[in-house]
Amino acid sequence: MRGLKKKRRIQIILVAFVALAGSTALVGYAMRDGINFFRAPSQIAEAPPPPTEVFRIGGLVEAGSLQRGQGEQIRFSVTDGGATVPVVYTGVLPDLFSENQGMIGTGRLVEGVFQASEILAKHDESYMPKEVVDALKEQGVYREDGSRTANGS
């Protein structure tokens, strides 16, 4: 009788482990399109992702790079002080979007140009997304007080 209880307990533990592993795999599979990794322009320059990968880019909108095309197409460059990536976006930009300000965009890198499907801008004078601040600090362009160094304006 004891051997049967022990065997049954092991079977239950194994079934629970298989069910947990299966549910984890299903959740991961369901979320695969919803997870967008953040990359700074320097990371993109070092190792460009494939054109099929959707990711987020963040940094400062480079001064003098904002160009409005025909219709709703906008071109600009995003920089973190170490590298610059050209961006193309078709749509209406957020009201607070401007040059020398932080932004995050979601999209794909196609032939060296980031084709954004969504653009987010900072929402007040002091806020900048954590990923953007970290990337700018890594390049030595951002200080703790929120100002930028001489090479970052």
Write out the residue range of the structural domain in which residue 88 sits: 37-152
CA distance 86 to 74: 11
Q: How many domains is the chain built from?
A: 2
Residues 90 and 106 in one domain: yes
CA distance 31 to 52: 16
The CATH number given to whatever domain includes residue 46 is 2.40.50.140
Count the Cβ atoms, other than its own, within 10 Å of residue 40. Answer: 25
Give me the amino acid identity at 142: Y
b/e burial code for range 120-135 (CB count within 10 A of at least 16 → b): bbbeeeeebbebbbeb
- Decide if 77 contacts 87 (C-beta within 8 A): yes
pTM: 0.62
Q: What is the pLDDT of residue 10?
A: 93
CA distance 60 to 55: 17
CA distance 150 to 116: 29
Token pair of 126, please? Answer: 């002091």
Q: What is the pLDDT of residue 152?
A: 46
Per-10-residue mean pLDDT of the chain, 153 residues long, equals: 84 95 89 75 89 88 86 88 91 84 90 91 62 74 54 46
Residues 26 and 101 in one domain: no
